[in-house]
Amino acid sequence: MERWSSKVAIVTGASSGIGAALSLRLANHGLTVVGLARRTHLIDELASKVTGDGRIVTKSCDISKPEDIDAAFQWVEQKIGGPHVLVNNAGVLKTGCITDAGDNPLSDDAILSTLDVNLKGMIMCTRKAVSSMRKRNFNGHIINVNSIAGHYVPFKSSLNVYPSTKHAVTAFTTALNTELAEFNCQIKVASVSPGLVKTDMVTDFKDDMPILEPEAVADAILYILSTPPKVNITELTIESTLERRL
């Protein structure tokens, strides 16, 4: 991780779960972490827990709004110098059915917000990050927090459009790696696909189900970042040793 000491990482959805655990890990390894989220008070609290040489900086941003993303990335460039690492972690999971064929149909707003945060926001953040890295001639790293639901469709109707957005993340990561390679750009892109993780999103699941701690996913992301510049881990899947797919 020495390569990243004193560098800048943007982490979306940094206020809780994987984003919070990762932000703390990165700051303790000497990075300046810009935590993007709507609940900025939670990132402020997290910043006080840093024990390493880095720091966590709070920036309010609604990932579902392109204008918020644009303002956040402009702010990072002007105030801190631009990102060297981007972790697209923000995500939402609203349980319910896609249509009224089920007992609990989702609202239009719930479906659209899932698409906006899980996919559109990721793409827009990535475009800003790649542009900034190329402008500064730095071969950075982009990591997309995916899901095992991005590689198969769980047999649970209440997960609705969530697997669709995560399958799109899988496709987006592959397409982006292909594009960057075609144009001889050495920015690395990885997809990290955890199973069930103990976050705010999974409160509807049974407490006795095997589940990963957010810190386990954060450690996997640190491993990806620790690889040499000429090594690109494009996909890493993480599951609890006792996990069985739905």
The catalytic site residues sit at 162
| Residues with Cβ within 8 Å of residue 26, at least 6 apart in sequence | 4, 9, 11, 33, 54, 85, 222
Q: Phi and psi dihedrals of 137, rounded to 5? A: 55, 45
> What are the helix (H) ranges across 152-225?
162-182, 214-225
CA atoms within 13 A on the CB side of 17: 22
Q: Report how far Cα 216 is from the mean position of its chain's Cα atoms.
A: 14
Of residues 84, 110, 80, 83, the one with CA closest to residue 97: 110
What is the chain's Cα-based Rg? 17
Residue 170 CA to residue 42 CA, distance in Å, equals: 29
